[in-house]
Structure 1
Amino acid sequence: MIMNTKTIWASACLAALLVASAMPAAAQHAGQPGGQGQAGHQGRGHEAMQAREFRNLQQGRGMGMARAAETNGYPGPMHVLEHAEALELTDGQIERTRELIVRVKTRAPELGKQVVDAEKRLQAMFAEGDVNAATMDSLLLEIAELRAHLRSLHLTAHLDQAAVLTEAQIAKYKELRSADGEARRPMRRMGEMKRADSSDG
C-alpha cells in the first residue's frame, strides 16, 4: 500500500507529538517524592542529555535517524565511500556519492539549528508561563515537521545512494557492513564492561 506525502508527514508529526507529550510526564516524575537530591540529579542528567542532543543537531549528526534504512541494507554514502575500493566504484559513482554527502552535511545542520531554536522557544514558553494550548500545539507541529524533514534528509540519502550502486555492489556492501559489525562487537563488549565496573564503584 502506497502512502502519499501528506499521510507520511501527518504520521511523522503525530509520532513527534506523542514523544513530546511524554516529556512533561517524565519531568513531573522527577519532582515527585524521592528526595530533592535525586530530583536535582535527574534534572542535571536531563539537561546534559538535552545539551548533547542540541549539539548533535546543530552539527548535523545523524543520531540514528536513518536506522530504518541502515538496518535493512540500504547503503549510506559515508560507508560506501569508505569501501570504495572493495565495492569497485567507478569515478562517476564516487562523484555522485560525494555529492550526497555534501548535500546532507550542508542541509542537516541548517535543519538541526531550526529544530533547536523551536525546542528552545517551547521551553521558554513554559518557563515564562506564557503558554496556552493553541500556541503550544502550533509550535509542536512546527517542531514535528522540522524533525520529519531532517529525518527524511538522512533517509533519502540512503535511497539515492542505493540508486547509484548496482545490485552486486549493494550485496557486497551488506557483506562488508556485516563484517564491520562483527569486528566492532568485542570493542562494544569491552565498553559495556568498563561502564559496569565504573557504576559498581
Structure 2
Amino acid sequence: MKMLSIRAAATVAATCAIVVSAMPGHSVAQHAAHPAAAHPAAAHPASAQQSGYAGMQSREIKALSPEQVADLREGRGMGASLPAELNGVPGPLHVLQLAQQLEVTPPQRDALERLTAEMKVQAQHLGAQLIVAEETLDRAFRTRSIDERGVQEATRHIASLQGQLRAVHLVAHLKTRGLLSDEQVAAYNRARGYAASTESVHRH
C-alpha cells in the first residue's frame, strides 16, 4: 500500500512538471534569464544607430559631394531645368547634340551655340560662388564661430545663389524654345523619350 502511494505521488509530480513546462510564462522566464542570447542586437545598441551620413565627415565641404562640386565648377544643370525639360521645353546643349536629327539650320546652330556659351559662363560663375558660400558655412561650424544670425544670413545667401543658378538654366530653355519650330520641339521630345507625357499634357 505504501509502495502504491509513492508511485501515485511520482505520477502527480511528473504531470505537474509537464503542465508547468507547457505554460507560456515558463518559456518567458527562460528567455528572461538569457536576454543577450535571445536578443543579440541588444548587446550592440550603438551599431543599430549608425547614421546614414557616416563617411561624409571626410568631405572637404560637408554639404557637397565631390561630384556636386565638379558639376558646379563645370556649370552643369544638376537637374535645375527639369520643370522645363520634362514639360517639353528643350535646352540648348541637348538640341545641339541632336542637331542633325532635328534638322537644325546654320542660323539656329549659331544662336544655340552662343546661348550655350552664355549659359555656361553664368552657371560657372554662380557655381563658384555657391562653392565658396558652402565652404564658408562649413568652416564656421567647424570652428564654432557662427551664431543664429550668422546661420540665417549664410543660408539666405546660399539660397539666393541656388535660385539664380537655377534661373540661368531655365531661362536658357525658354530662349531655346523661341529658336525652334513646333516640329523641331516635337522631334526633340520624341528623341528624348518624352513624347507620350508631353503630348498628354498639351491635350489637357
TM-score over 0.5 (shorter chain):
yes
Q: Of the two structures, which has the highest relative contact order with CA contacts closer than 8 Å and spacing of 6 or more?
A: 1
Question: Residues 83-114 of structure 1: CA distance to partner in whole angstroms, max 9, x if unpaired?
Answer: 21222222111101101110122121111110
1:43 CA drift (Å): 2.9
Correspondence list, 1:95-110, <5 A? 95-110=110-125
Q: Distance in 1 between matches of 2:46 and 2:130?
A: 33
Amino acid at match of 1:43: A
Amino acid at match of 2:164: H
Q: What is the match of residue 102 of structure 2?
A: 87
Tell me the TM-score normalised to structure 2 length: 0.65
Q: What is the match of residue 42 of structure 2?
A: none
Which of 112, 128, 135 is the matching residue for 1:113? 128
Equivalent position SS for 1:42: coil
Question: Share of identical aligned residues, percent?
Answer: 33
Question: Would you say 1:44 and 2:55 are equivalent positions?
Answer: yes
Q: What is the match of residue 9 of structure 1?
A: none
Which of 42, 50, 55 is the matching residue for 2:70? 55
Question: Would you say 1:165 and 2:177 are equivalent positions?
Answer: no
Question: Residues 163-195 of structure 1: CA distance to partner in whole angstroms, max 9, x if unpaired?
Answer: 000112111111111189xxxxxxxxxxxxxxx
Moved over 3 A (4+): 33-39, 45-49
Question: Would you say 1:35 and 2:47 are equivalent positions?
Answer: yes
User: Structure 2: which 5+ runs fail to align?
Assistant: 1-44, 196-204
Cα 1:77–1:129 shift into 2, 3 Å:
same
Number of residue equivalences: 147
Question: Residues 119-176 of structure 1: CA distance to partner in whole angstroms, max 9, x if unpaired?
Answer: 0111111111111111111111110000100000111111100000011211111111
Cα 1:54–1:102 shift into 2, 3 Å:
same
> 1 or 2, which has the higher helix percentage?
1
Q: What is the match of residue 191 of structure 1?
A: none
Which of 58, 70, 93 is the matching residue for 2:85? 70
Q: What is the match of residue 27 of structure 1?
A: none
Q: Distance in 2 between matches of 1:179 and 1:121?
A: 40
Correspondence list, 1:137-176, <5 A? 137-176=152-191
User: Structure 1: which 5+ runs fail to align?
Assistant: 1-32, 181-201
Tell me the TM-score normalised to structure 1 length: 0.66
Q: Distance in 2 between matches of 1:119 and 1:112?
A: 11
Amino acid at match of 2:150: T
